[in-house]
């Protein structure tokens, strides 16, 4: 596994959300394309994240792919228990 180092200045903008929380309600967060959300709904999504000093895992993705596909992939990779948390 490759680990990257985050520069100190990046810590000022580094935010994260636990995988379990992102998969809550069967991955509703992953299924909602931000471009299709109201400004208030996007702010609510942003507020679910919090400042962190490190990330255990960084998940890169595109909103062009299906949110359902992303949710299924994450569930299969991480375990079904995350969907009900």
Looking at the DSSP assignment, which residues form a beta bridge with residue 50?
A: 16
For the chain, the average pLDDT equals: 82
Q: How confident is the model at residue 24 (pLDDT cuts 50, 70, 90)?
A: confident
- pLDDT digits 0-9 by tens, 45-57: 899 999 998 888 8
| Rounded CA separation 63/41 (Å) | 16
User: 21 near 64, Cβ under 8 Å?
Assistant: no
| Residue scoring higher pLDDT (10 or 81) | 10
| pLDDT value at 22 more than 70 | yes
Tokens (6 digits) for 69: 């596909």
46 vs 7, 22, 35, 37, 77, CA distance in Å? 22, 12, 13, 12, 24
* DSSP 8-class letter at 21: H
| Residue scoring higher pLDDT (31 or 85) | 31
């Amino acid at each position: 596994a490759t680990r990257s180092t985050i520069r100190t200045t990046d810590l000022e903008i580094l935010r994260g959300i636990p995988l379990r929380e992102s998969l809550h309600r069967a991955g509703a967060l992953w299924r909602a394309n931000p471009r299709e959300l109201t400004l208030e709904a996007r702010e609510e999504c942003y507020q679910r994240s919090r400042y962190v000093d490190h990330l255990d895992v960084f998940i890169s993705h595109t909103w062009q792919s299906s949110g359902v596909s992303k949710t299924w992939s994450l569930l299969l990779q991480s375990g079904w228990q995350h969907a009900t948390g």
